[in-house]
Amino acid sequence: MDVLEKMKKEMFRRKLSPRTIKTYLYYVRKFLLFCPKEPKKFSKKDCREFLEKFMDKEFKWMKKSNEEIAGSTLNVALNSLRFMMEEVLRKSMKLNIRYSKTPKTLPTCLSKGEIKSLINSITNQKHKLLISLMYGSGLRVSEAVKLKKEDIELSESIGWVRKGKGNKDRPFILPESLKENIRLTLKSNNSYIFPGRKAYLSVRSVQMILKKAAKKSKIRKNIHPHTLRHSFATHILENGADVTAVQSLLGHNEPRTTMEYLHIVKPKMISVKSPLDNI
């Protein structure tokens, strides 16, 4: 039985993201080298030994402690083996592994004043529009740079993320204060809203834009593209937006993911609108 090929077909059928497919296959390949048995003879014991012995070596190779990477690396490896066992081999896979829980930490969030200072420090108008839209609409950086003209519905004040995380489409709000700049951008000859050397602007370029803006505006927090999304979620919840509405705007599958932001907000009962329009 070609386990890797069967896994790949099943993951494609379920429309898992390319990144998830690549990661799952990586850990299963490691497991197959670790456990040279016939797939039908794989057991929970084999999986446990791989996770406890082989992964321990991997931790040391990465020069990190179990506690530091358990919440990410170990859980991903465990999920990879669980998918192989349950979805391909049709075997039970219930394991309790030490250090498998991810430590809960609150996301870094900027104040409205810091957001305003950050945006105002950017002189390139195209870059300024991009950063403003990422915050004002709660977009992931990969979603923002891939926006095309046909994804924008100015008359309805919404845009569309096409094949976002989980290969799903979802709408997002367009800040009223950005609509004129977006209208002008739509007149260009490029199919992408934010063109770059290779079709659209790279994620790395956006990271550098933010790093430079943070330094210029003297913000000492560890700022990355996702910080803008965290700030968007926090600020609209502070403005009194319903958690269910925020979940939809962010594209979260589970309400509990959105609920994490409630720990850092001060709710007020007002209507939902983009936080950028309040600056």
CA 85 remoteness from chain centre:
27
- Which among 127, 128, 229, 230 is annotated as catalytic? 229
Give the tokens for residue 105. Answer: 């930490």
Told to judge if 226 belongs to the known catalytic residues of this protein, a careful annotator would answer yes
Q: How far is CA 138 from the centre of its chain?
A: 11
Question: Tokens standing for 252?
Answer: 């979260």
Which entry of 165, 179, 216, 224 is annotated as an active-site residue? 165
224: annotated active-site residue = no
Q: Look up 13 and say whether it is catalytic.
A: no
The answer to whether 27 and 176 have CB atoms below 8 angstroms apart is no
- Indicate if 230 belongs to the active site: no
212, 226, 263, 268: the active-site residue: 226
Closest CA to 193 of 204, 182, 202: 182
Q: Which of 140, 146, 230, 235 is catalytic?
A: 140
Which tokens belong to 113? 């004043």
Q: Which member of 127, 230, 235, 252 is catalytic? A: 252
27 among known catalytic residues? no
The per-residue DSSP string of 121-139 comes to T---HHHHHHHHHHHHHT-
Q: How far apart are CA 134 and CA 131, in angstroms?
A: 5
Let me know if 252 is a catalytic residue. yes
Q: Which residue numbers are catalytic? A: 140, 165, 226, 229, 252, 261
